[in-house]
Amino acid sequence: MFLDELQPIFKEFWQQPLAFTGGLVSGALKLKLSEDPLKTWLQEQGMTNFTYTDHTKDNGSGPQSISID
């Protein structure tokens, strides 16, 4: 049961182990694609056309209250 839930993760790892590991490490280190040194390395690899949206910026809205009838 628990292994069935992890099956998609293992499938992605076996298909592209280097890309999966790189994404896992960059996510764990909270690296952003739009900042150096990762941006420079991606450009050297020929990946200059990438988009990245930073969802970690605080937009100032904060928690909102809701009312449930």
* Neighbouring residues of 54: CB distance < 8 A, sequence distance ≥ 6: 32, 34
Amino acid 52: pLDDT: 59
Q: What is the pLDDT of residue 55?
A: 62
Rounded distance, CA 42 to CA 49, Å?
10
> How confident is the model over 23-50, as pLDDT tens digits?
888 889 888 777 787 778 777 877 766 6
Q: Which residues contact 50 (CB under 8 A, 6 or more apart)?
A: 33, 42
pLDDT for 66: 85
- Residue ranges of the domains in the chain? 2-44
Q: What is the pLDDT of residue 60?
A: 61
| pLDDT surpasses 60 at 58 | no
- Quote the strand ranges of 1-69, DSSP E: none
